Amino acid sequence: MKKIIFAIISGLAVMVLSPSCKKEIGNLNNPTIEDFLENATKPELNNLVTGIESGMRNNLAMYLDVVGLIGREMYRFTAADPRYLSDLLGAKTATLDNNTFYLTNPWASRYRVVKNCNILIEAATNSGLLTDDEKKGYTGFAKTIKAYQLLLNLNLTHSNGIRVEVADPDNLGPVLAYKPSLAAIKSLLDEGQTELGGASVAFSLTSGFTGFNDNASLVAFNRAIYARVAAYDEDWAGVLTSLDNSFMDMDADLGLGIYHVFSTASGDILNPAFVRQNEAGEVRVAHPSYATDLQPGDDRIGKATLRNSPVSSSDLTSNRDVWVYTSATAPVPLIRNEELILLYAEAKIRQGAAGFNDAVEAINTIRNAHNLTPYSGPLTSTALIDEVLYNRRYSLFFEGHRWVDMRRYNRLAQLPKDRAEDDVWEMFPLPLTE
C-alpha cells in the first residue's frame, strides 16, 4: 500500500514541479524595436540599413503597375483580380477606392520604410558606440531614403497630401498639402545632404549602390533626388543647382545610377515586375499607343517587344510585352543619369529662351543614344517641353513617371481612353486609415 501512495505522490510531484520558474517568455521569433533603441551596435544599425534597402522593394511592382496603368503606359492583365482594369482605368462607373490594395499596399510599404528610417535615426542617435561622423552617415542616409519614399507616396495622392512627421505612432503629424509636402521633402533632403557631407560611412550597401557607397557619392545621390523634387516643385534654379552636385554626366552611361537589386540569395526576392515574353494570363503589356506614338527608328521600341500573338482582357488588347526588366534579377532604378539629363533640359527650358540651346544639347544626348537624329523642331518652350515629355515617356517607360509628368503639365486629358467610359484619374484619395 505504501508503495502505491509513494508512486502517486511522486507522480503528482513530477507534474506540478516540472514548470520552470521563468515568467515571461518574450519574443521568440525576432528582435523588438526596443532592442534597437538602447545603445545599438554597428551590426544592428547595419541590419536596419539593409532592411531599408530591402524594404523599398516591397510592393514596388504594384506601384509601377498602378502608375503605369493610370498613365496609360501599359496594361496589367491578371485573371485573379479585376480591379486593375476596372478601378484603375475607371471602367464604366468604377472609381478609385480609398481602401483597396492598389493604393493601400504601396502606400503602407513606403511608410514602413520611413518607419525603419526613423528607427535608424533614433537608434544611431541614442547609440554610444559610434563616432559623431558615423552617426551622421546613418542619419544622412536614413533621411535621404525617407524623403524618396515620401515622394513616391506623394505621387499617388498628390494634392490630397501626405504626412511627413510620422515618428510617433500615437501622435502623427498633419497631412500636408502638395506644395508643403514637397517643401518638407526638400528640407529632409537638405538635412541629409549636410549630414552625409561630413559623414563616415560605416555600413555596406548592395550592388544597387555601386559607386554610391561613400559619403561624397551618397551626397550626389541625395542631390539627384532633390533635383526631381525641385522639378515637381517647379523650382528650376533648385533643379540646376542640385544637378550640379549630383552624378549627372552627359558623357556617362545613361543607366548610371542607383538601383533596387534582386537576387536568389537566402531571404531575397526576385524582381516581381518581371514577366517573360509571350506569357498568357499573368502579363504586363505595353499600351498600344507606345508603338504608334514612337518616332521612326527610335530604339526604345525594344522596351515593348512584339508578341507572338496579341493578348486581350476586358476589351483591352495589346500585341507588345513590356520588356523593361528583362530577367528575374534585373534591377529597378531609383534614379539614373538619363532622367537627370532630361531634368536638366526641362529646367533649362522652363527658365526661358536663354537655356534652349543647353536644353537641346541635353535632348540630343538622349536622342543620339536612342538612334534618333538631333532635335530639329522649333525652339519654342511648348515644342521643347513636348520633346522632353516624349523622351521622358520612352526613356523612363515603366519606371513610374508618365502619369506624374502628364499631371505636372496638366495634360492628363491627352492620355488615351481605350474604352468609351474609362476615366483618367488625377490622384488617389487619401487611404481610409489616414
- For other proteins, the binding residues in 307-336 under the rule CB under 8 A are 309-315, 317, 328
Instruction: Kindly write out the interface string for residues 378-407 of this chain, putting x where it contacts other proteins by CB under 8 A and - elsewhere.
Output: ------------------------------
User: Which amino acid belongs to residue 107?
Assistant: W
Find the binder of other proteins among 63, 75, 111, 221 (CB under 8 A): 111
Applying CB under 8 A, the span of 76-84, 212-220, 288-296, 382-390 interacting with other proteins comes to 76-84
| Interacting positions 285-304 with other proteins (CB under 8 A) | none
Strand 283-286 and strand 74-77: pairing?
Answer: antiparallel
Q: Are 120 and 192 in contact (CB under 8 A)?
A: no
Distance between CA 353 and CA 380 in Å, rounded?
Answer: 8
Closest to other proteins by CB, 168 vs 251, is 168
Per CB under 8 A, does 340 bind other proteins? Answer: no
| Interacting positions 141-200 with other proteins (CB under 8 A) | 162-163, 166, 169, 172
- Find the radius of gyration of the CA atoms of the chain: 26
Distance between CA 372 and CA 363 in Å, rounded?
Answer: 11
Task: Look up residue 260 and give its DSSP letter.
Answer: E
Which grid cell is 143? Answer: 533621411
Closest to other proteins by CB, 194 vs 314, is 314
Find the binder of other proteins among 63, 75, 102, 344 (CB under 8 A): 102
Per CB under 8 A, does 80 bind other proteins? Answer: yes
Question: In a 3-state reduction of DSSP, which class is residue 77?
Answer: strand
Q: Which class for 315: exposed (0-12), middle (13-18), buried (19 or more C-beta within 10 A)?
A: exposed
| Interacting positions 20-39 with other proteins (CB under 8 A) | 21, 23-25, 27-34, 36
Closest to other proteins by CB, 65 vs 338, is 65
Per CB under 8 A, does 112 bind other proteins? Answer: yes
Distance between CA 214 and CA 54 in Å, rounded?
Answer: 19
Distance between CA 38 and CA 157 in Å, rounded?
Answer: 36
Find the binder of other proteins among 253, 282, 293, 299 (CB under 8 A): 282
Find the binder of other proteins among 264, 292, 376, 382 (CB under 8 A): 264
